[in-house]
Chains A and B, each alone.
Chain A
Amino acid sequence: MGKMLRLNMTDRSATLQDLPDAYKYLGGRGLTSTLVYDEVDPQCHALGPNNKLVFAPGIVTGTPAPTSARISVGAKSPLTGGIKEANAGTAFSPAQAAMGLKAIVVEGQPADKGKWWMAYVSWDLNKKQPTVEFMPADEYAGRDLYEVFPELFKRFGKVSIAGIGTAGEFLYSNSGVVFEDMEGRPARYAGRGGLGAVMGSKGLKFIIMDRKGAPGVAFADKAVFEQGRKKLTAALMEHAITKPKGALNSYGTAVLINILNEAGGLPTRNFSSGRFEGAAKIAGEAVFEGNKERLGKELYNHACSPGCIIQCSNTWYRPDGTEHVSCQEYESIWSLGANCGIDSLDVTGELIKLCNAYGVDTIEMGCTLGVAMEGGLLAFGDGKRAIELMHEVGKGTPIGRILGNGTDMAARALGVTRVPTVKGQSMPAYEPRAVKGIGITYATSTMGADHTSGYTIAPEILGVSGKVDQFDKDKADLARNFLEATAYIDSTGHCLFIAFAILDIASGFEGSVEECNGVLGTQWTMNDVGRIGKEILAREVAFNRAAGISKAHDRMPEFMKYEKLPPHNVTWDIPDETLDAVFP
């Protein structure tokens, strides 16, 4: 019997409840979005007492399912004003699952602000259930997370951590929820949408998860689960993108810098061009070669979380051979690199490290800096000044507070009209004018401008699950299909990167469904994937509508309609009817 743990921050009480029957087949994003839809007033202030922050591992998280240690974090977003699910790969997720906690719900708000708390969750061997102790956390506030995490591990031993940096303490709309990676670094973020501020608004600095003695995840039908696990594992081991020493294991996601640059779809200097002359210097190949030169050997990538067999995370080293940061992902290198006119991995590495240290989402931060450059606060390409401004963000100076609250806020403060956001959230590393389907996704996703909620880049650029023309406009169905399938994958607890394999290898997709059946005792088939995705999206859309987000917000920024993007000189020309056809 699955449980829910409520952490009430008004009176610092913890309540363990049976998971309601209506939720028994939900996990990950399906559970966070359903709980937020059911319990959060869509008109509430995202940083007030009535928002709730939900942590949910996926359906198969905590089992031997490959690449399944993902956690969903959900709430009303202070950035978009709508529903939000952010996702991270971390041992925290299987730890929570092992305790039988399908969801942790953080609610309420302390009356006395300015004091920080942590919730220590451990397994009570006598009562055979989780137990919670609230402890003061003031000594960790205001500090660099790279200093704090080792102190926490020294104090509590082998535990998992969920928390916020100074960005969350300052309630920035661009603050994320941090988790530890396999080496204990504060580097895995449920980053997008300002969920760190929601946690901060409740006075909660950390959740410490100690799984010692916890029973683990039970199966309804172990044989069915095993059958599914084997099929999915086989697909991941076979596909050129996900297999050992394949594309992701060798070059990581940063390999996309060069391909999007060739395609003319790499947003450059605040979305003013689709090509960056410095792209080759900051791409995955440059990471690989740079490390090889600095270490004297070839370095392949590692897993962000237990049980991942794709292992796509890199580590970047300094010229003297010491570790600089893990990891430099495509999105982060792009936003703090190409989008800022910066062509040095040492600079992007430092900026990424500071985003991790202070607790902000790298995509949003890079777009904010791009707008700040456009607005004359610093020059495009000025890495030194960008690093100084990151410290201001972390320390909460007036300029830091403007920048820490995201791209829309910075644009307004600086009088910038080229603002690459939808529903207040910044666009990721794919230019919508050059790749129309991802543009339709940015416009219509319930999450705001978002690429992980419907990765149409797979067929549009990468040739995965077929090939469609990047400039083709008739893509409402494509966008919707990806949004639905992704909402399902986001609920399983699997990393979205299994999609590269399972979209091409059908038995892998079937395997993922059988894994769920093995855990839940359901009889799902491939036909249920779309249904499950549709149900989740319907709740998210309904929440957004009630929050005041209408179809009028499923639109792209005006400048993209008239500014021609080099090198293809294309504009955003998708008719409104196409956008409105995604969620009719």
Chain B
Amino acid sequence: MITVHVKLFATLRQYRPGLGMGEAFPVELSHGATIGDLIQTLRLPDQEIKIVFVNGLFRERTDSLADGDEVGIFPPVGGG
């Protein structure tokens, strides 16, 4: 098993009520799990997720995760 540390942002925060600002929560996954697996495990609606960073780097759904990875998940956002 591996443990990753997940942060949810903007409108995705509603799927984890009570989460503090910028607070990460641990998620246990099986060895070799992908980002897609993580999204499923968390029961997040996939179509609401636009950007996933792992350790500060942009990653696709098919990329696999490693123990201790820090994951940041964002819906579509914009700004200036």
Interface residues of A (CB under 8 A from B): 239-242, 246-248, 250-256, 258-259, 262-264, 275, 279-281, 283-286, 289, 329-331, 451-452, 455, 458, 461-464, 467, 469-470, 496-497, 500, 567-568
Contact = CB atoms under 8 A, between A and B. Distances in A.
Nearest to B53: A262
A162 B61 CA distance: 49
Given A247-B11, A263-B53, A455 B80 contact: yes
A242 B22 contact: no
Interface string B58-80: 10000000000000101111111
Contacts of A280: 21-23
Q: Which of A240, A252, A467 has the most CB of B within 10 A?
A: A240
Contacts, number: 102
B22 A279 contact: yes
B9 interface: yes
Given A251-B77, A259-B74, A452-B80, A284 B10 contact: yes
A286 B23 CA distance: 12
A330 B72 contact: no
B17 interface: no
A255 B74 CA distance: 10
B56 interface: yes
A242 B78 CA distance: 8
Interface of B: 7, 9-11, 13, 21-23, 50-51, 53, 56, 58, 72, 74-80
A240 B9 CA distance: 15
Given A251-B11, A462-B50, A470-B58, 9 more contacts: A242-B78, A247-B76, A248-B79, A259-B51, A259-B53, A279-B22, A280-B23, A286-B21, A461-B58
A330 B42 CA distance: 29
Contact of A255 (B21, B56, B79): B79
A71 B33 CA distance: 51
Contact of B76 (A240, A253, A284, A286): A240
A461 B21 CA distance: 21
A253 B80 contact: yes
Nearest to B73: A262
A331 B2 CA distance: 38
A461 B58 CA distance: 8
B72 A285 contact: no
A251 B74 CA distance: 13
A255 B11 CA distance: 10
A262 B56 contact: yes
Nearest to A504: B76
A330 B78 CA distance: 10
Nearest 3 interchain pairs by C-beta: A280-B22, A253-B79, A241-B78
A520 B13 CA distance: 46
A239 B56 CA distance: 26
B18 to A, nearest CB: 12
Contacts of A283: 21-22
A285 B51 contact: no
A451 B80 CA distance: 8
A570 to B, nearest CB: 11
A247 B78 contact: yes
Contact of B9 (A258, A264, A331, A462): A258
B42 to A, nearest CB: 17
Nearest to A240: B76
Contacts of A259: 9, 51, 53, 72, 74, 77
A252 B77 CA distance: 9
A262 B72 contact: yes
A145 B51 CA distance: 41
Contact of A252 (B22, B23, B79): B79
A463 B78 contact: no
A258 B80 contact: no
Contacts of B72: 258-259, 262
A319 B75 CA distance: 29
A521 B53 CA distance: 47
Contacts of A239: 76
Nearest to B20: A280
Given A250-B10, A258-B72, A280-B21, A568 B56 contact: yes
A248 B10 contact: no
22 contacts: A241-B78, A247-B11, A247-B78, A248-B78, A250-B10, A251-B10, A252-B79, A256-B78, A258-B7, A258-B9, A258-B10, A259-B53, A262-B9, A263-B53, A275-B56, A283-B21, A285-B10, A452-B80, A461-B51, A462-B78, A496-B80, A500-B78
Nearest to B71: A262
A346 B17 CA distance: 25
Contacts of A241: 76-78
A254 B79 contact: yes
A247 B80 contact: no
A463 B51 contact: yes
B58 A469 contact: yes
A330 to B, nearest CB: 5
Contacts of A284: 10
B1 to A, nearest CB: 25
Nearest to A247: B77
Contacts of B74: 258-259, 262
Nearest to A469: B58
Contacts of A497: 78, 80
Contacts of A246: 76
Contact of B56 (A253, A263, A458, A463): A263
Nearest to A252: B79
Nearest to A566: B56
Nearest to B56: A264
Contact of B80 (A250, A264, A329): A329
A254 B50 CA distance: 17
Among the interface residues A255, A275, A451, A467, which one has the most CB atoms of the partner chain B within 10 A? A255
A497 B79 CA distance: 8
Contacts of A464: 76, 78
A250 B23 CA distance: 20
A205 to B, nearest CB: 29
